[in-house]
A = this chain, B = another copy of it.
Amino acid sequence: MEKKHQSIIDFSSNLNDVWRLLNDKERELLRQNASIQHFKKNQIIYSEGDEPEFLMCLLKGKVKIYKEGICGRNQIIRMIKPIQYFAYRAHFAGEKYLTAAAAFESSSVCLIPIQVVEDILKHNFALCKYFIHQLSVDLGIADERTVNLTQKHIRGRLAESLVFLIDSYGLDEDSSINIYLAREDLANLSNMTTSNAIRTLSNFVTERAIALDGRKIKVIDEDKLRKISKLG
């Protein structure tokens, strides 16, 4: 993982949750140590087994966190949107990465050496609380997800993924989801094979819940999707 250093980073543009919790000195420390790296579409950001060195913050683009499953079947664990922090779990657990991260589309990531974060944490209770909160929320999501992925039927799982994408990335003017995924990624998100993702997707078209134009998914009946997600 090469690194492009840029001592002067414009943090004003990404005034975010974490930034608000810091004092001037801490902010300066970040400015001096953070760097920004750009990732091309499909480029791997870190891999399973890598040693965690950075707290990462996605500034632009979309990132997937996934695990290599049995015989190449990847499972997308969560998805990151700007401005969101990630890649810190492994370090705090004292482990290597259990997951991998890759850019869905051209993305910019801010890298903060994890030791700098540790130093700030020591004297910043608010930041501690931030991570405790964030980890707790994510753990709850993971628990929910376990049950949803194991117990819901294929329609429910796919509908759930679509609802999740709507909630995470939003809809644009013509009510199509603001992210363009390959059918395979959609399948990996919903724990099914690519063919079944395609099939089920076209069922949703027949039922007038969505309309398709290549990778563009236009949401016609969001309520219907939510209903299928809940009961399926």
A residues apposed to B, CB below 8 Å = 67, 69-70, 73, 75, 77, 88-95, 98-99, 121-123, 125, 128-129, 131-133, 135-140, 142-147, 149-152, 191
CB contact under 8 A between A125 and B136, given known A70-B152, A142-B142: no
Bound-state Cα–Cα, A149 to B122, Å: 37
Bound-state Cα–Cα, A193 to B151, Å: 11
B136 contacts A67, C-beta separation under 8 Å: no
Bound-state Cα–Cα, A132 to B128, Å: 8
Give me 8 A-to-B residue pairs in the complex whose CB atoms sit less than 8 angstroms apart, sorted by A's number: A67-B144, A92-B135, A99-B143, A121-B129, A123-B125, A138-B139, A142-B143, A150-B150
Bound-state Cα–Cα, A70 to B146, Å: 12
B152 contacts A90, C-beta separation under 8 Å: no
Bound-state Cα–Cα, A100 to B123, Å: 35
Q: Which of B90, B133, B149 contacts A92 (CB 8 A)?
A: B133
CB A108 to nearest CB in B, in angstroms, measures 25
B95 contacts A140, C-beta separation under 8 Å: yes
Bound-state Cα–Cα, A121 to B95, Å: 24
Bound-state Cα–Cα, A69 to B137, Å: 20
- Using A89-B139, A149-B150 as known contacts, list a sample of 8 further A-B pairs with CB atoms less than 8 Å apart, ordered by residue number in A: A67-B146, A75-B146, A75-B147, A91-B136, A92-B132, A93-B137, A95-B137, A138-B139
B73 contacts A151, C-beta separation under 8 Å: yes
Bound-state Cα–Cα, A150 to B75, Å: 9
CB contact under 8 A between A133 and B73, given known A139-B139, A146-B142, A191-B150: no
A149 contacts B146, C-beta separation under 8 Å: yes
Output the nearest chain B residue to A95 by Cβ-Cβ distance: B140
Scoring A91, A125, A132, A145 by chain B CB atoms within 10 A of each residue's CB, the highest score goes to A132
Bound-state Cα–Cα, A94 to B143, Å: 16
CB A227 to nearest CB in B, in angstroms, measures 15
What are the 3 A-B residue pairs with the smallest beta carbon separation, nearest first?
Answer: A93-B136, A142-B142, A92-B136
Which residues of B lie under 8 Å from residue A99 when comparing CB positions?
143
A98 contacts B143, C-beta separation under 8 Å: yes
